[in-house]
Amino acid sequence: MPKITNNPDRKSWIEVSSTSDFPIQNIPFGVFLTPDDIITIGTRIGDCAIDLGALHQLGYFEGIPLTDDIFLQDTLNDFISDGKKTWRLVRNRIGDIFDSENNKLRDNEAHRERILFHLSEVEMQLPVQIGDYTDFYSSKEHATNVGSMFRDPENALMPNWLHLPVAYHGRSSSIIPSGIPIHRPNGQTISPNAEFPVFGPSQRVDFELEMAFITTDANVLGEPISIDKAEDFIFGLVLFNDWSARDIQKWEYVPLGPFLAKNFASSISPWIVTLDALEPYRVATPDPVKPQLDYLQYQGDKSFDIQLEVAIQPENSEEKVVCKSNFKHMYWNMAQQLAHHTVNGCPVKSGDMMGSGTLSGKTSDSYGSMLELSWGGKNPIPMPDGTERTFINDNDTVVLRGFCNNGSSRIGFGEVSTKVLPAIKYQK
Ligand code: CA
């Protein structure tokens, strides 16, 4: 176990502020472009981006079985395929190299110049090539709220919901990193009591506060992953904003579920935080309301205490935090999601991504979407510039943030920030 790497008392010779999401206890993985336009796999301590390709070339990973070009790539997929033992060896070694007691790199200016960049000098990329993307629906509060609005408050949860982690297969081609703006989607919608639908820009663009986990190669066709081993195949987590067009969704989703309302864009934070780094923040998931089938039963604490928030920033205005929630509210945990996903023999690969579903809490200020926060548009939310929001306006920027703090240490995910631009005019 990475006890030394997670030791809250450990300090780095790189300066880190006490409120940083990226102290030496985090050591996330990402991909960035250097000032010389070279793409590399990297990590981050404080505001310092660390080039793992250069570290490897200079011999700092000696003794760890890695191919020469493992970090000189534009995605983390091959490194993730190397498996948990290798991720752990590399993360532990990075902890050693940057420990305040270790002077090997600290005192080598020529090496430091090749390896270290200020974060403002690099351009973060999508960290993995996402092959398949699945979106779960695992917050009981969110499923209850949406069921109440779209169907019937008396029977908000479908009969299957308490027995299996409901999900659908999403689309990976539109997953983008933080900072890339999106356009309001066009599509079909229908007014209440209208006979025919109309076409045009969605009037109900919404965020979904989610987290997503990235897998390694887990199984071959036909073989399930047992729930007891499932976490070994999870590389780490990112913040995930699963953009949604509620008016398009309402018209199209029966009977096969979400389609164009969901696949126009989904944004992720660029640094993948490993399960090893999250270990000090492990907590229990909510108790099952109904008995669960044997293949979904688990031992131990399977969730993490990750504090989450969403802010909306209107153009030329201060931001407003509209939601504070927590990953630990999720009813179906990641091990259950992965065990269920593969119980029929569906193969999972390196770089696959699984969204949690919107992470709403019990209180009305912890709802993870504008659909719930404004209760279907009935309750507008005031903004600092005097305007109101029921959904997201053109030129608004939506920011998701997440961090863990157990009193003795803090790590986090940074943010995923996305601006919504006006719809592109459709021309036939
Ligand atoms: Ca979603």
What are residue 12's DSSP bridge partners?
A: 99
CATH of 30-124 among 3.40.30.10, 3.90.1150.10, 2.30.180.10, 2.30.30.230: 2.30.30.230
Listed in order, the ranges of the chain carrying CATH 2.30.30.230 are 30-124
For ligand 1, an ion, list residues with CB under 5 A: 135, 208, 242
Listed in order, the ranges of the chain carrying CATH 3.90.850.10 are 133-421
Annotated catalytic residues are 142
CATH of 133-421 among 1.10.3720.10, 3.10.20.600, 3.30.110.30, 3.90.850.10: 3.90.850.10
Q: What is the pLDDT along the chain (428 residues), one digit of tens a residue?
A: 577 999 999 999 999 999 999 999 999 999 999 999 999 999 999 999 999 999 999 999 999 999 999 999 999 999 999 999 999 999 999 999 999 999 999 999 999 999 999 999 999 999 999 999 999 999 999 999 999 988 889 999 999 999 999 999 999 999 999 999 999 999 999 999 999 999 999 999 999 999 999 999 999 999 999 999 999 999 999 999 999 999 999 999 999 999 999 999 999 999 999 999 999 999 999 999 999 999 999 999 999 999 999 999 999 999 999 999 999 999 999 999 999 999 999 999 999 999 999 999 999 999 999 999 999 999 999 999 999 999 999 999 999 999 999 999 999 999 999 999 999 999 99
Please give the distance, rounded to the nearest whole angstrom, from the Cα atom of residue 119 to the centre of ligand 1.
30
Is the pTM higher than 0.95? Answer: yes
* Cis amide leading into 23 (omega within 30): no
Please give the distance, rounded to the nearest whole angstrom, from the Cα atom of residue 355 to the centre of ligand 1.
7
Please give the distance, rounded to the nearest whole angstrom, from the Cα atom of residue 327 to the centre of ligand 1.
14
Please give the distance, rounded to the nearest whole angstrom, from the Cα atom of residue 46 to the centre of ligand 1.
31
Please give the distance, rounded to the nearest whole angstrom, from the Cα atom of residue 416 to the centre of ligand 1.
15
Please give the distance, rounded to the nearest whole angstrom, from the Cα atom of residue 137 to the centre of ligand 1.
7
Pairwise CA distance, residues 113 & 107, whole Å: 11
